[in-house]
């Protein structure tokens, strides 16, 4: 899988380290230097200085020599040499030597598609700021940032991109790079549908290009600002920026003013006029919009802009669908489909299928529509699965990188302590020799005795310090584990939230939101654990209150007045029991809000925990709401929530029971607080 970035109308794309010629490759014999270096590398000893020097020579050759794309199939062999050289540099070389070899190896990983190794090594370099020079740092950041964007790590992408801008400003590089960075960040927010932040960055880029002579860039950025207003439902503001962009293009038209060819300038005008025409759809001006988009499509074809052709065909398909010209709409969708590359353009494929699905339903082709809907669902699931896999991969790499950095820091600290210990011992030896020369045999015996006493005392003190340190480290480690588990659960919750936001299916949104609440109940436990000194128990009353506040904030409507009565003692709850207890409480309280108080503007919810025996407790959730339906037993068999409660209660050696009140209903679950006693 090769990551890439697509930009808006205005973007400057820097060059890459390796120069790839797409013409037919000559024979390998035409690269005698490459053959010579490969032969010497195979003959050199692994992880040696000779191997390192030859690999650096190979790196310099590849950086300046035009080598055909096909020849890079040999790079996996070079990766091995680079890995062995990095091992030597890490053990024996200087920090600069290590950084230079890291840079070559990270390029090898990138160009051979070894994305996991690339992310891991690049992440280590960024975390440790391990770069031989600023140019190397720019190159690694430029490769790494788009990958974070593609897998949904937007904050990390923005962080790297802003750092990239700062470095380039320090190096007094052209302002065009600053425009690029703002454009890229704006595009990231545009993908998240955060049009306000996207607009702010486009406006910053617009300020920069307005200070130059490139009027084409000014028009392009004005168009992008207009697009954010249009997406945000502010057509009047969008029209102002679209009109400004068109005025600039129509009044200019010279190369000296930063314009390209006449054909491209007219094409850009066509695109912006199409954007402007799409603003009037609410007034029913479909024909005007169709004519404008058809002009955009025609000029896009003339300039062989495949992406423009796809977007224009989709817009025309949607417009004709709204006019109920289904046959013409399908022709445009078919034209777009022929341009889409299914292997890496799923976003456009879904957009095409969604309009086609509406047409099939509107034209009475229910069976074909349902079949297409299944394909869309499968594609969305595939996209979601890939996103989860990428996120998990990056999270794992980040964790391993951080762990490795901590280990390296501990090694450095150990070396410092050893140096101090050596220095201290040398000083003691010098003192001992001076005393021996001045005091004679008697003082020597006395001094020897005192030395033994001192060493024993020092040893005891060191052992005590080591024990104290080990205890602190274990406590810190436990806190760190619970903190990381809590953070990872929040990451999963965020992923569920994003999937729910992106889905138009109400049931999917509901399931995602319920999943979030279940995960939050588990995350609260780990949050309490790393904030306290007791890693085996949590406060039952405090945890219950926190859960109820969270659930109430989520489910309670503004017009509802629900009183919550908590009857829970300040008891220590085993951690192994706390998580299933939280899931049970979440399901029962959520059930009361969703069904018990449905259609009611007030009510009372009572949550109580009573001790039945030494190790047996009873959780009771009661409400004065609508009560239980008559066919509750049949419904409970199909209820995911109640089946989940039953399963968890069984794990806690308890059971679920429920009955109707007058009014309302009560759910009771028994559970044990110490599973080890009943194992």
C-alpha–C-alpha distance, residues 666 and 670, integer Å: 13
DSSP secondary structure string for all residues of 428-455? HHHHHHHHHHHHHHHHHHHHHHHHHHHH
For the four alpha carbons of 475, 481, 486 and 491, in that order, the dihedral sign comes to: positive
C-beta atoms surrounding 638 within 10 Å: 8
Which pLDDT band holds residue 310 (cuts at 50, 70, 90)?
very high
Dump pLDDT digits (tens) for 511-562: 676 666 667 656 655 565 555 556 678 888 988 998 888 888 877 767 788 8
**Token pair for residue 59?**
């790196």
**From the centroid of its chain, how far is CA 74?**
32
Domain with CATH 3.30.565.10 in the chain: 557-678
Instruction: Please compute the mean of the pLDDT values over residues 283-294 and round it to a whole number.
Output: 90
Which pLDDT band holds residue 498 (cuts at 50, 70, 90)?
low
pTM of the entire predicted model: 0.49
C-beta atoms surrounding 292 within 10 Å: 24
Which pLDDT band holds residue 88 (cuts at 50, 70, 90)?
very high
pLDDT score recorded for residue 155: 79
**Interhelix angle 262-277/286-302, nearest 10 degrees:** 160
pLDDT score recorded for residue 413: 76
pLDDT score recorded for residue 70: 54
C-alpha torsion 400→401→403→405, nearest 10: 160
560 or 358, higher pLDDT? 358
418 or 490, higher pLDDT? 418
500 has a pLDDT exceeding 70: no
37 near 54, Cβ under 8 Å?
yes
Which pLDDT band holds residue 32 (cuts at 50, 70, 90)?
confident
Task: Enter the CATH code of domain 37-173.
Answer: 1.25.40.10
Residues with Cβ within 8 Å of residue 402, at least 6 apart in sequence: 127
Q: Mean of the per-residue pLDDT values for the chain?
A: 79
pLDDT score recorded for residue 275: 92
Beta bridge partners of 604: 563
pLDDT score recorded for residue 344: 62
Q: Report the candidate in 262, 473, 451, 343 with the shortest Cα–Cα distance to residue 270.
A: 262
pLDDT score recorded for residue 292: 92
**Distances 559 to 505, 598, 604 between C-alpha atoms, Å:** 26, 12, 15
pLDDT score recorded for residue 180: 81
Write phi, then psi, for 657 (nearest 5 degrees). -140, 155
217 near 209, Cβ under 8 Å?
yes
pLDDT score recorded for residue 30: 63
What percentage of the chain's residues is helix, strand, coil (to nearest 5)? 75, 5, 20
Q: Lowest-pLDDT range, 140-154, 283-297, 460-474?
A: 460-474
Domain with CATH 1.25.40.10 in the chain: 37-173
Dump pLDDT digits (tens) for 96-130: 999 999 999 988 888 777 878 888 888 888 888 88
Most confident of 326-330, 504-508, 522-526: 326-330
Q: Domain 557-678 is of which CATH architecture?
A: 2-Layer Sandwich (3.30)
Q: Lowest-pLDDT range, 199-203, 554-558, 610-614?
A: 554-558
Q: Lowest-pLDDT range, 275-289, 387-401, 522-536?
A: 522-536
Which residue carries 């607009």 as its tokens? 199
440 has a pLDDT exceeding 80: no
C-alpha torsion 582→587→593→598, nearest 10: 180
pLDDT score recorded for residue 1: 35
pLDDT score recorded for residue 264: 87
DSSP secondary structure string for all residues of 306-356? HHHHHHHHHHHHHHHHHTT-HHHHHHHHHHHHHH--TTT-HHHHHHHHHHH
C-beta atoms surrounding 679 within 10 Å: 6
98 near 53, Cβ under 8 Å?
no
Residues with Cβ within 8 Å of residue 142, at least 6 apart in sequence: 14, 164
C-beta atoms surrounding 289 within 10 Å: 23
C-alpha torsion 241→245→248→252, nearest 10: 180
* Cis check: omega of the bond before 466, within 30 degrees of 0: no
421 or 320, higher pLDDT? 320
Q: Lowest-pLDDT range, 149-158, 201-210, 254-263, 544-553?
A: 254-263
C-alpha–C-alpha distance, residues 276 and 230, integer Å: 9
C-beta atoms surrounding 291 within 10 Å: 12
**Distances 594 to 126, 427, 551 between C-alpha atoms, Å:** 48, 76, 11
DSSP secondary structure string for all residues of 182-236? HHHHHHHHHHTT-HHHHHHHHHHHHHHHHTSS-HHHHHHHHHHHHHHHHHTT-HH
C-alpha–C-alpha distance, residues 275 and 290, integer Å: 11
115 or 567, higher pLDDT? 567
Which pLDDT band holds residue 8 (cuts at 50, 70, 90)?
very low
Buried b (16+ CB within 10 A) or exposed e, 603-629: bebbbbbeeeeeebbbbbbbbbbbbbe
Which pLDDT band holds residue 280 (cuts at 50, 70, 90)?
confident
Instruction: Please compute the mean of the pLDDT values over residues 340-347 and round it to a whole number.
Output: 75
373 or 414, higher pLDDT? 373
């Amino acid at each position: 899988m090769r990551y890439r970035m697509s930009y808006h109308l205005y973007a400057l794309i820097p060059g890459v380290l390796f120069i790839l010629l797409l013409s037919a490759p000559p024979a390998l014999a035409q690269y005698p230097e490459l053959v010579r270096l490969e032969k010497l590398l195979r003959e050199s000893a692994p992880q040696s200085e000779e191997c390192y020097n030859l690999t650096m020579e190979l790196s310099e050759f590849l950086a300046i020599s035009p080598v055909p794309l096909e020849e890079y199939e040999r790079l996996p062999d070079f990766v091995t040499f680079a890995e062995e050289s990095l091992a030597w540099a890490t053990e024996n070389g200087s920090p600069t030597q290590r950084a230079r070899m890291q840079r070559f190896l990270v390029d090898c990983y990138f160009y051979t598609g070894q994305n996991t190794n690339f992310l891991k090594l690049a992440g280590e370099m960024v975390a440790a700021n391990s770069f031989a020079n600023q140019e190397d740092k720019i190159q690694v950041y430029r490769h790494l940032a788009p990958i974070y964007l593609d897998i949904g790590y937007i904050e990390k992408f923005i962080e790297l991109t802003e750092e990239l801008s700062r470095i380039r400003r320090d190096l007094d590089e052209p302002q065009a790079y600053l425009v690029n960075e703002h454009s890229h960040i704006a595009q990231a927010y545009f993908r998240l549908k955060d049009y306000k932040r996207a607009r702010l960055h486009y406006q910053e880029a617009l300020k920069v290009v307005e200070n130059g002579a490139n009027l084409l860039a000014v028009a392009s950025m004005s168009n992008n600002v207009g697009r954010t207003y249009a997406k945000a439902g502010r057509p009047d503001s969008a029209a102002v920026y679209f009109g400004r962009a068109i005025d600039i293009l129509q009044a200019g038209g010279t190369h000296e003013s930063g314009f390209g060819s006449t054909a491209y300038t007219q094409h850009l005008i066509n695109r912006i006029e199409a954007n402007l025409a799409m603003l009037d759809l609410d007034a029913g001006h479909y024909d005007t919009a169709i004519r404008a988009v058809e002009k955009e499509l025609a000029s896009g074809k003339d300039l062989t802009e495949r992406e423009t052709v796809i977007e224009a065909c989709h817009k025309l398909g949607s417009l004709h669908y709204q006019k109920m010209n289904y046959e013409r709409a399908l022709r445009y969708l078919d034209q777009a489909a022929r341009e889409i590359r299914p292997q890496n353009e799923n976003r456009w494929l879904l957009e095409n299928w969604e309009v086609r699905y509406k047409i099939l339903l509107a034209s009475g082709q229910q069976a074909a529509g349902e079949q297409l809907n299944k394909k869309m669902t499968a594609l969305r699931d595939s996209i979601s699965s890939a996103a989860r896999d990428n996120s998990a991969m990056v999270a794992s790499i980040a964790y391993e990188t951080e762990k490795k950095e901590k280990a390296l820091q501990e090694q450095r600290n150990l070396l410092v302590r050893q140096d101090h210990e050596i220095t201290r011992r040398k000083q003691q030896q010098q003192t001992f020799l001076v005393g021996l020369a001045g005091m004679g045999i008697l003082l020597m015996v006395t001094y020897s005795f005192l030395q033994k006493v001192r060493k024993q005392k020092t040893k005891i003190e060191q052992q005590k310090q080591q024990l104290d340190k080990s205890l602190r480290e274990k406590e810190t480690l436990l806190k760190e584990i619970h903190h990381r588990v809590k953070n990872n659960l929040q990451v999963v919750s965020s992923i569920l939230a994003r999937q729910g936001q992106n889905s138009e299916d109400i049931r999917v949104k509901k399931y995602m939101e319920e999943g979030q609440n279940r995960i939050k109940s588990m995350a609260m436990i780990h949050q309490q654990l790393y904030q306290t000194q007791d890693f085996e128990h949590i406060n039952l009353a405090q945890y219950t209150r926190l859960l109820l506040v969270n659930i109430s904030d989520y489910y309670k409507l503004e017009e509802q007045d629900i009183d919550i009565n908590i009857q829970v003692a300040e008891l220590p709850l085993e951690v192994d029991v706390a998580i299933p207890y939280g899931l049970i409480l979440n399901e029962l309280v959520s059930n009361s809000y969703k069904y018990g108080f449905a259609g009611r503007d007030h009510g009372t919810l009572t949550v109580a925990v009573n001790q039945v025996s030494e190790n047996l407790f009873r959780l009771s959730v009661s409400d004065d709401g609508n009560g239980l339906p008559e066919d509750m037993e049949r419904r409970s068999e199909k209820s995911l929530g109640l089946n989940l409660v039953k399963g968890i209660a069984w794990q806690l050696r308890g059971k679920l029971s429920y009955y109707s009140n007058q009014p309302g209903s009560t759910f009771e679950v028994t559970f044990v607080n110490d599973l080890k006693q009943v194992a």
